Amino acid sequence: MKKLWDKGTQPDRDVTAFTIGKDREMDLYLVPYDVLGSMAHIVMLESIGLLGKEELGRLLQGLKEIYGEAIAGRFEIEEDVEDVHSQVELTLTHKLGEIGKKIHSGRSRNDQVLLDLKLFTRTEIRHITEQTAALCETLLAQSEKYKEVLLPGYTHLQIAMPSSFGLWFGAYAESLADDLLLLQAAYKICNRNPLGSAAGYGSSFPLNRQMTTDLLGFDSMNYNVVYAQMGRGKMERSGAFALAGIAATLSRLSYDACLFNSQNFGFITLPDRFTTGSSIMPHKKNPDVFELTRARCNKLQALPTQITLISNNLPSGYFRDMQIIKEVFLPAFGELKDCLHIVSSMMREIHVNEHILDDERYAPLFSVEEVNRRVMAGVPFRDAYAEVARSFAGEKTGKFTAPAGQTLTERYTHEGSIGKLCNERIAGWLSEVVGGFPFEQVEKAEQQLLAR
């Protein structure tokens, strides 16, 4: 077992296996980011005289080759190598000889893995943001397409007042836009540079932390080196809360879709290719995709609690507990991206029932319309309410229709209602939120670093 901390003694094999755990598997997520961090670090080392220009050129070229292997999926962490940091340094040393051992000067695996996690997380947040924004746009397009189609609104799972597919689709678009605001806050916490904090107490080398901050496109550095290490777990927890917010919206949308697709509701139908069947009941067309999305998103909502409990009640400084966070945090982005992808596909092709309210069972939805009609004729609201309520006493069901001469979409004219969806404002809010992420700044910095 090759270790960066090897002192010439051989630890117990069981201890080695237990302490490494799933690190080799999890660290494969981090390989390109470990290389980018190393590139920025050695550029800085050369600037303070710890590397020569010729050494820097060779090291940069070697690291770029490793980066290419990682992006192509060809980079492997060998069985007897402890982690990604060890494997990158070992591979570089095999390529270039002794100068490969110089890249670790002035840093610890503690600030190295912190940096890798932050670079990984901000990249994944960009992917989540782009997919979520695309789903919002799909939902807004469907809201406009079906804005005249009414459906029952519910409270307590009892029919309440008229709603519309315009409102239904648009509600989830606005919810996701707000979820992105929380994701933006997580991004801002993430996008601060911990490199140079070493094991949490800095280094006696004259490191230029501002240089590595600029080279990697961070908004700023984590200034206090102790706090930089305290950020391990905090950054992941903040990101997990943001992922859980998006997951909660997707889970609720999935529940609605399952409910509305059932025969007892019949509000929507799914294309056959998006459903599954039964091995015994030939008529079944099951919404398994939405059910699995709901379950996976509910699982993601447990992520902040898992991270909190792993990192809870620890004093300042580094502890190995943090390693376990990678096992639940790193795969979560892929799980949420899968859900966003499949829900976007389903929402684009969902079939809407345009005649739901033709069924007389929904007639009581218009009781509020009748109350309002009487109020407009001069009857006090409480009296109008009591008069209409008597129509529902005992076994009576009451039947009310919208007053003739106007549709509901013409009467509901206040902002955000059936007749005035404000979709253009939701789209503007979405654009404002997405525009608040400094993705271009980060992309430019990484491209410039790789071009050295």
CATH of domain 13-105: 1.10.275.10
Q: What percent of the chain has pLDDT over 70?
A: 92
Rounded distance between C-alpha atoms, residue 332 and residue 161, angstroms: 38
> How would you classify the pairing of strands 220-221 and 192-193?
parallel
126-135, 272-281, 284-293: segment of lowest average pLDDT: 272-281
Domains 13-105 and 110-357+422-450 equal at CATH topology level: no
- Coil/strand/helix, residue 92: helix
Q: Which two tokens stand for residue 81?
A: 């190598």
* Residue 377: exposure state from Cβ atoms within 10 A (0-12, 13-18, ≥19): exposed
Rounded distance between C-alpha atoms, residue 288 and residue 269, angstroms: 13
| Contact in structure between 42 and 107 (CB atoms under 8 Å) | no
What's the pLDDT at 1?
A: 46
Residues 6+ apart with CB under 8 A from 377: none
Give tens-digit pLDDT for 46-64. Answer: 999 999 999 999 999 999 9
Sign of the CA dihedral running 251, 254, 259, 265: positive
> How would you classify the pairing of strands 351-352 and 268-269?
antiparallel
More confident of the two residues 366 and 54: 54
Give tens-digit pLDDT for 109-118. Answer: 999 999 999 9
Question: pTM of the entire structure?
Answer: 0.92
| Contact in structure between 200 and 226 (CB atoms under 8 Å) | yes
Q: Which two tokens stand for residue 203?
A: 């280094």
Q: How far, in Å, are 104, 192, 195, 212 from residue 451 at the CA level?
A: 22, 23, 21, 16
From the options 3.30.1370.100, 3.30.1360.20, 1.20.200.10, 1.10.3720.10, give the CATH code of 110-357+422-450. 1.20.200.10
Rounded distance between C-alpha atoms, residue 22 and residue 229, angstroms: 22
The helix (run of H) or strand (run of E) holding residue 161 is strand 158-164
Domains of the chain: which residue ranges?
A: 13-105, 110-357+422-450, 359-411
